[in-house]
Amino acid sequence: MKIRSTTILTVRHQDVVAIGGDGQVSLGDTVIKADAVKIRRLLDGQVITGFAGGTADAFALLERFESKLKDHPANMPRAATELAKEWRTDRALRRLEALITVVDAQHTLLISGTGDVIQPTDGVLGIGSGGNYAVAAARALVGHSTLSAAEIVRASLEIAGDICVYSNGNIIIEELACKN
């Protein structure tokens, strides 16, 4: 699924996970809004989500995910799997066009409507039209700098925003301490 209109990036580095997103909302080739917030804290701040794709679709999915988190508060991967199963099989939900990434102190996950729940090996995950640019920048910075996770996310999103016409430099970043 090719989602245009944003860049969301997560990075696990130095015992911190950071997730950030740009603020651009596009309708076709037109920028409609430059300062949208696509990063949300759930479960009293224990889980942070980011979304790419249709805003209404993403909010519907985030509401469902929050409900799954309440059903499985100590097991975010289980909540993600339950959402992915419902998203794939429910007639109304499977029409939703969005991707979400979720992080907690232990996990970074991508959840898609095709039933995917994927955890990246290196803790770096990007979604949206600028996601691949941001991931490439983040991987280079993780391996070759002393920047913090949040600094890597910001620098990578700025690079992606300079390349991807569906992303901008209005960046929101949230962080969580990781559990060892």
pTM, full prediction:
0.93
Say if residue 57's pLDDT is above 90: no
Q: Angle 149-163/131-144 helices, nearest 10 degrees?
A: 140
98-140 pLDDT tens trace = 889 999 999 999 998 788 899 999 999 999 999 999 999 999 9
Q: Give the residue numbers marked as catalytic.
A: 6
Give 55's pLDDT tier (boundaries 50, 70, 90). Answer: confident
Say if residue 40's pLDDT is above 90: yes
Q: 10 Å Cβ neighbour count for 45?
A: 9
CB burial of residue 71 (10 Å; 0-12, 13-18, 19+): exposed
For the chain, domain boundaries: 7-174
CA 164-167-172 angle, to 5 degrees, is 140
Say if residue 178's pLDDT is above 60: yes
Higher pLDDT: 28 or 42? It is 42
Which residues, at least 6 apart from 143, have a Cβ–Cβ distance to it below 8 Å?
none
Say if residue 27's pLDDT is above 90: no
The hierarchical CATH code for the domain 7-174 is 3.60.20.10
